[in-house]
A and B are shown apart, each in its own frame.
Chain A
């Protein structure tokens, strides 16, 4: 097959097609700033610097996707009044301060126009610059928050967990408002991003039950994805953690017949008995488990379960392999990932989540090199 550009490769995979080779993303998102000698604290308000960093990381490591944004899980909540808190490298939401303390506060939420809110505007501009500079040949994605996780950031997680049982109607009306507003922000990337990745970490089964997922996550995320697809961009659903028990629903939010993807850690067969049970049910008792890599194997089950409907992304552990592993370990994990999930296309190899800024450059390079080496479709 003729060599494709990165963009063609990613677009083909997102449509569940088979490109020239398995596309690869390093997810050196926060870390990209280190490549130009900046830090999140010094660059976050400067769209030019942010875009420059992402392009530099892409050039140094040679992957197929650049990602706009950095605090993707938190921007919507911050626009609606949540307080910023600087952890070492990441501006997160301070969950000790609650925007919604009682249901009356829902009526007083503010929804600034995305172009007018400084943080939202910077991310929109960053994506625009990436699209102008490299978007003709590299895929541009942006990270944003799913409505459910945004609601948790506004209410505090425990309050949300309580309210879903005690006052479900109130939760629905809150989620409805958040979804309307999120859609305004997410569709503002029209023409500036090829794909929109919805980060929804609280929706994983470590925190939310499948029953709750069905009621409080899926319908709102589906509406969001639908709007993103209608705006001409490709939605990527990222429930972050364990997807055992919610995998079908997580794939269902991608509009039928449209391109789209799922990306998560999917589950840890070493410490989560339910993940292991799921894996064995789908793949069979004979699966060979690698004690040093409890994540990759889940790809096999995920591809089998939902690979006919959505593109599957993952699943290299950002900590034990990318941060703490050696380049050889990274290579071996990439090879396993490709063996498990590349067949027939519809697969992008990448870490299971954003990587830690201290991840060694050699590991990012090893990731891309191994993908290029093992990932060629013949």
Chain B
């Protein structure tokens, strides 16, 4: 890779972490016009930046404001990157994957879910956000309807964890379990439990959700 591009990558990573949208978009455009591939930008700038953002959140340096702003900056740079990716693979615009997102039945918390949505959209996923307090049946209907790849569920309360299980069971009952990957998160959930009830992946926060969702659609690593 030309040294100039490597410099762009470092700068782009930094502007993403510092949620400087204007500069990030400028750098992205420049890098693309000077020959960087979309895939290269995603793997060398976008994903490492998401990781750094996640770490800053975990250590208490970043709070939700920063997460929201980073999510929006990601979304802004992903637009030209996706368009370019479309050209690279000869399609109008490549879609990384489609996600149906909801807070499960009985649970009305949505702050965390909405932040996860920003990150998923920011990394190129199409997200159908159904809102809060969503019964399993409705979530599955929607996933079938929009031909989703992933069903992503948010659950903040221990009493509503059973409704995550409802989604898994209802999918099995309808013979659709193999058609969708299930990603789950939210304060009352954890990785071990998610595995036990038959979800495919769990993630701790927005950046983690991106990594998990990418690996679920076969774009991990």
Binding site for B on A (CB under 8 A): 85, 87-88, 90, 92, 95-96, 156-158, 161-162, 164-166, 202, 205-209, 212, 271, 274, 319-320, 323-324, 356, 358
Q: For residues 164 through 199 of chain B, which have their beta carbon under 8 Å from a beta carbon of chain A?
A: 187
B33 contacts chain A at the CB level, 8 A cutoff: no
User: In the complex, are the beta carbons of A202 and B159 less than 8 A apart?
Assistant: no
User: In the complex, are the beta carbons of B72 and A162 less than 8 A apart?
Assistant: yes
Nearest residue, chain B, Cβ from A163: B65
In the assembled complex, the Cα of A166 lies from the Cα of B111 at a distance in Å of 19
User: In the complex, are the beta carbons of A209 and B65 less than 8 A apart?
Assistant: yes
Closest 10 CB pairs of A and B: A209-B63, A161-B65, A161-B68, A157-B111, A87-B133, A158-B68, A87-B108, A161-B64, A165-B65, A162-B68
In the assembled complex, the Cα of A244 lies from the Cα of B63 at a distance in Å of 13
In the assembled complex, the Cα of A365 lies from the Cα of B199 at a distance in Å of 38
| Chain B 48-76 per-residue mask, 1 if CB under 8 angstroms from chain A, else 0 | 00000000000010011111110010000
- Which residues of A are found within 8 Å of B111, using beta-carbon distances? 157-158, 202, 207
In the assembled complex, the Cα of A157 lies from the Cα of B108 at a distance in Å of 13
Q: How far is the CB of A27 from chain B (nearest CB, A)?
A: 16
9 sampled A-B residue pairs with Cβ under 8 A: A85-B108, A87-B108, A87-B133, A92-B108, A157-B64, A162-B65, A202-B111, A209-B64, A209-B65
- Which residues of A are found within 8 Å of B65, using beta-carbon distances? 161-162, 164-165, 209, 212
Binding site for A on B (CB under 8 A): 60, 63-69, 72, 106, 108, 110-111, 114-115, 118, 131-133, 157-159, 187
With contacts A90-B108, A92-B108 known, is A212 near B159, CB below 8 A? no
- Which residues of A are found within 8 Å of B132, using beta-carbon distances? 87
Q: How far is the CB of A62 from chain B (nearest CB, A)?
A: 26
Which of A88, A92, A207, A319 contacts B64, CB < 8 Å? A207
Which of A88, A164, A212 contacts B106, CB < 8 Å? A88
Nearest residue, chain B, Cβ from A165: B65
- Which residues of B are found within 8 Å of A209, using beta-carbon distances? 63-65
User: In the complex, are the beta carbons of A158 and B133 less than 8 A apart?
Assistant: no
Q: How far is the CB of B194 from chain A (nearest CB, A)?
A: 15
Nearest residue, chain B, Cβ from A274: B60
- Which residues of A are found within 8 Å of B64, using beta-carbon distances? 157, 161, 207-209
In the assembled complex, the Cα of A212 lies from the Cα of B63 at a distance in Å of 10
In the assembled complex, the Cα of A202 lies from the Cα of B64 at a distance in Å of 11
With contacts A90-B108, A92-B108, A158-B68 known, is A319 near B158, CB below 8 A? yes
With contacts A158-B114, A164-B65, A274-B60 known, is A323 near B106, CB below 8 A? no
In the assembled complex, the Cα of A87 lies from the Cα of B118 at a distance in Å of 24
Q: How far is the CB of B22 from chain A (nearest CB, A)?
A: 12
Q: How far is the CB of B190 from chain A (nearest CB, A)?
A: 9
In the assembled complex, the Cα of A271 lies from the Cα of B158 at a distance in Å of 14
User: In the complex, are the beta carbons of B69 and A208 less than 8 A apart?
Assistant: no
User: In the complex, are the beta carbons of A96 and B131 less than 8 A apart?
Assistant: yes
User: In the complex, are the beta carbons of B68 and A320 less than 8 A apart?
Assistant: no
Nearest residue, chain A, Cβ from B131: A96
- Which residues of A are found within 8 Å of B60, using beta-carbon distances? 274
Which residue of B60, B65, B132 has the most chain A CB atoms within 10 A of its CB atom? B65
Nearest residue, chain A, Cβ from B157: A319
Q: How far is the CB of A24 from chain B (nearest CB, A)?
A: 24
- Which residues of B are found within 8 Å of A324, using beta-carbon distances? 158-159
Which of A157, A161, A207, A319 contacts B159, CB < 8 Å? A319
- Which residues of B are found within 8 Å of A157, using beta-carbon distances? 64, 110-111, 114
Q: How far is the CB of B100 from chain A (nearest CB, A)?
A: 16
In the assembled complex, the Cα of A348 lies from the Cα of B203 at a distance in Å of 38
